[in-house]
Amino acid sequence: MEEGRKELFSNTKDQHSFKNMVRAKAVELGFDNSGFSAVDFLPEEAKYLRQWLDRGAHAGMTYMENHFEKRTDPALLFENAKSVISLTFNYFPKKILPTENNYKISKYAYGKDYHFVLKEKLWTLIRYMQSIEPGLSARPFVDSAPVLDKAWAQKSGLGWIGKNTLLIQQRKGSFFFIGEIITDYAFPPDEALTANYCGKCTRCIEACPTQALRPYSVDANRCISYLTIEHKGEIPETFAGGFQNWIFGCDICQDVCPYNIRFAVPTQEEAFSPPAELMEMNKEKWENLSREDFRKWFKKSPLKRSKYEGLQRNIRFAKEIKKQPVEEPPPGTKRD
Ligand code: B12
Ligand code: SF4
Ligand code: SF4
C-alpha cells in the first residue's frame, strides 16, 4: 500500500465483498473463473523451472532464461504487488475445423489472438476495480511478461497442473487461456488446490506422437507446438511423418484428456470463432495460400506468429516428408 493512500474497502468484510464484485464483473466480461493469491516467491516452481532450463527443454525459447527472479516472484515485477488475480477464459470452439483432406491448426488459434482479446478485458476489469477502490494500482498480464500463469492459477485454487503440463479444471478441462491482474490491493487469498486428479492416467504421454512429454514436463525440442510456432529454421528430419497433419500448434495431449472429452463446452466468445476462410480450407488451399491472403485472412490471428514463411515450412514438412517417425531424440537434445 502506498503511503497516504486510503483504502475504502479496508476491513475484512469489505475486502470479501469487493472480491465478490470483481468475480462477478469477470464473469460478465466472459471469464469462466477467477482465483486470488497473495504475492509470494514460488520455491517449488523455481526448482522445476531451473531443472527445465538446465535440461535445455526450452529449446530456442531463450526468453524463458531471462528474468528468472521476476518469473518466480511477482513482487519484483510490479511495485507493491500484493495479490495475483488469475482468470481463465474458455476457447473451445463451437465447431472443429474439417479434418478430412486437411491440415490441422490448434483450437486456440481459430479466432483472434487471445493476447489482445484478454488484455482488453483485463483492462476493463482493472478500470472497474479502480471505480470502486480509487487509487488501486494494477497491471494486466497475458503471456506478456515473465509470469508463471499456470502456477498462479493453481495457487489460487482454479485447478491442477496435469501430466501434459497444462492447467486442468475438474469440470471444464484445459481448453482455456489464463490471464492475470497483479495489484497492490491485498485481497483475501483463495485456497490453493493441492490435489492432483490425473491419478494413474497417462493418456497424454502415450498419445504424444513425438514423445515430448514426461509427467509434468514438456521437452520443447520435441513438441509439435514449439516446432511449428516458435522454432526458427528447418524442422529436424527425425520428426518426419510424425506430425499427424498439424501445421500450427498441436492439441493431441489435450484432445485425449478425459477431462476435456467429458467437460469441454463451446466458448461464447465470438472473437475466438474461425473466419469463414479458415472453415473452408483444405490441403490444396493451404498449399496454395498466397502471402496476400495469409496477410488478409490472418491479420489478427495467432497464425501471424509463425509468419507466412513459417507456415509454408510447416505445410511443406507435413506434405513432403512421409518417413516413419523415429523414437530417438534429435542430436543435441539433452534428456536425463
Ligand atoms: C513456454 C510456453 C510453451 C512452450 C513450453 C510448454 C511448457 N509446458 O512449458 C511450448 C511452445 C511447447 C508451449 C506449447 C503450448 N502452450 Co504454452 N506457454 C508457454 C508459457 C509462455 C510459459 C510456460 C512455462 O512457464 N514453462 C516453464 C516450465 C518449467 O513449466 P512447466 O513445464 O509447465 O512445469 C510446471 C509444472 O508442470 C511443474 N513441474 C515441472 N516439472 C515437474 C516435475 C514434477 C515431477 C512435478 C510434480 C511438477 C513439475 O512446475 C512448473 C512450474 O509450475 C505459458 C504462458 C506463461 N507465461 O505461463 C504458455 C501456456 C502454458 N501455453 C498455453 C497453451 C494453450 C499451449 C498449447 C496448448 C498451444 C497449442 N495448442 O499448441 C501448447 C501445449 C503444449 C504442452 N503440453 O505444454 C497456455 C496453457 C493454458 C492451460 N490451460 O494451462 C499458457 C498458460 C498460455 C496462456 N496464458 O493461456 N507453450
Ligand atoms: S502439444 Fe503435441 S507434441 Fe506437444 S506435448 Fe502435447 S501432444 Fe506432444
Ligand atoms: S490425459 Fe490423463 S494424465 Fe494427461 S493430463 Fe489428462 S488426466 Fe492427466
Ligand 2: which of 205, 243, 246, 253 to mutate, judged by most atoms within 8 Å of the beta carbon? 253
261-296: pLDDT as tens digits: 999 999 999 999 999 999 999 999 999 999 999 999
Has residue 183 got a pLDDT over 60?
A: yes
Catalytic residue numbers read 143
Has residue 302 got a pLDDT over 80?
A: yes
- pLDDT category of residue 8 using cuts at 50, 70 and 90: low
Residue 166 CA to ligand 1 center (angstroms) comes to: 6
Residue 176 CA to ligand 3 center (angstroms) comes to: 16
Domain spans in the chain, listed from the N-terminal domain onward: 12-92+112-183, 203-320
Residue 168 CA to ligand 3 center (angstroms) comes to: 9
pTM as predicted: 0.94
CA–CA separation, 328 vs 155, rounded Å?
A: 36
Ligand 1: which residues within 6 Å by Cβ? 45, 48-49, 52, 61, 64, 106, 108, 142-143, 147-151, 161, 164-167, 174, 176-178, 215-218, 220, 223, 225-226, 230, 249-251, 253
Between 156 and 332, where is the model more confident?
156
Ordered DSSP codes for 266-333: ----GGGSPPHHHHT--HHHHHT--HHHHHHHTTTSGGGGGHHHHHHHHHHHHHH--PPPPSSPPTT-
Residue 327 has a pLDDT of: 53
